[in-house]
Amino acid sequence: MNTLSCLALSIFLLSIIFTRYRKNLSSLCRTKHAQEPGCNDLKKMAPYPAQPIKGRERYRVMMDVRKLDVENWLTVDKNYMDEHEVRSQLLETEKSKVLQCLPESYDACLEALEEVVEFLCQRFSNVFEQKKCGDETTVHNKMTGETFCFGGKNKDVDPLEIAVRLTMEDLSILMKNEEDEYYLAASASLFPVGWTVQDRIGWTISKLHNPVPLWHQQVANSVSKFLARLTPASPMERSNYFVEVKRPDEDLFEILYRPTSLSEENPDPTPQDIVIRRERQTFRRLPRTGALVFGVKTILTTLDELPMQELQNLAKEIRSWPEYVGEYKGREVWGPKALEYCEKKSRMYQQDPEKMMV
Ligand code: HEM
């Protein structure tokens, strides 16, 4: 090959590389732009999709953890303002039931807040803004108009309270006790199911799960190992669901805040009154203090909103639970009605699948 053709070939190759690079760069910019929705876009954004119900044939308590989708550690969606109102009301009227921080957890709570603010200001930069001045930080939420100050001398408000006033997720801090067991050192659990942090603050993971059937036989050891092995670079997530019944007139506050019972008085629930309450749980180790942050996003779907496949999977799982598991999960309250609905929908689907897809 002579010098001229060598030169021509090099120019040709360089132009290909340059075109590719420009394409990648512009798609990167587009992605970055698409990842930073404004307040109005967020008001229309669907919640982060919940894990579908799998339809397991046999009941087992499982960890079923997967790598955290780090881009979406915390989420903001169209329900933000409605849920924010409930969260503010709870922190106003039920504070000690939904927020408890043991004194030794202060540094970890502050670190968790710093991580939350850093994340929200990067991921949703059109909504959250921070300004740092020495060791003080001010964070402003453009959607709610609220501003919070933390760090330095600002010690009046618990850092975890500020964090959950910004997020849609409930947040807890787990620390190790002298026996090397993780315990609930701080928690802002505003949307609990059948428990309050006031009763359970300081409890170990093992004690917290005492009521869960087969916890100790099937999963306790794996959970301890899993928590011990988490590193700041290996955050994880898992999903869980409960089924509950609401009254037709129940408002969002009462549905989300369930400190005592899973199911309200409603002897004859319709498919719209049966709620599939899913939790997306995230686990992160904080790099500075070494504590764990446990996040829980609650997603509500009524039975009639479930797609056909998931409805059938749910029916399969409900039927697979042994008696004592069914009892723990409150199956006697909603089970017969839910199964009746699943069977009816399945029959209709078999008769006319196309109509059911509409
Ligand atoms: C990998 C870790 C974890 C696993 C596998 C796990 C699993 C479970 C399961 C299967 C249930 C029963 C839910 C049902 O009825 O379907 C449950 C309940 C519960 N979990 Fe966890 N969990 C984990 C971590 C945590 C953490 C970190 C906390 C700390 C707040 C927590 C607090 C609770 C509470 C309070 C309940 C309700 C227990 C009751 O019935 O009174 N869990 N968990």
CA of residue 209 to ligand 1 center, whole Å: 6
Mean pLDDT (the chain) is 89
Contact 173, 163 (CB under 8 A): no
Rg (CA), the chain: 24
How far, in Å, CA of 97 to CA of 277, rounded?
Answer: 21
Contact 226, 312 (CB under 8 A): no
Q: What are the boundaries of each domain within the chain?
A: 44-353
- CB crowding 62-95: b at 16 or more within 10 Å, else e: eeebeebeeebbbbbbebbeebbebbeebbeeee
Q: Tell me the percentage of the chain whose pLDDT exceeds 70.
A: 88
Tell me the per-residue pLDDT of 27-61, one tens digit each, with 9 for 90 and over. 333 334 445 678 788 888 999 999 999 999 999 99
Tell me the per-residue pLDDT of 298-310, one tens digit each, with 9 for 90 and over. 999 999 999 999 9
Tell me the per-residue pLDDT of 160-192, one tens digit each, with 9 for 90 and over. 999 999 999 999 999 999 999 999 999 999 999
Residue of 208, 229, 283 with the most ligand 1 atoms within 8 Å of its CB, for mutation:
208
How far, in Å, CA of 215 to CA of 19, rounded?
Answer: 56
Given the CA of residue 182, which atom of ligand 1 is nearest to it?
Answer: 27
Tell me the per-residue pLDDT of 4-36, one tens digit each, with 9 for 90 and over. 555 555 555 555 544 443 333 333 333 344 456
Task: State residue 355's pLDDT score.
Answer: 66
Contact 114, 132 (CB under 8 A): no
Give the pTM.
0.88
Task: State residue 40's pLDDT score.
Answer: 80
Cβ atoms within 10 Å of 97's Cβ, excluding its own: 17
Task: State residue 26's pLDDT score.
Answer: 32
Task: State residue 350's pLDDT score.
Answer: 83
Nearest to 197 by CA among 301, 60, 105: 105
Residue of 169, 214, 240 with the most ligand 1 atoms within 8 Å of its CB, for mutation:
240
Q: β-pairing, 128-133 with 136-141?
A: antiparallel
Nearest to 120 by CA among 289, 295, 251: 295
CA of residue 311 to ligand 1 center, whole Å: 23
Given the CA of residue 200, which atom of ligand 1 is nearest to it?
Answer: 35
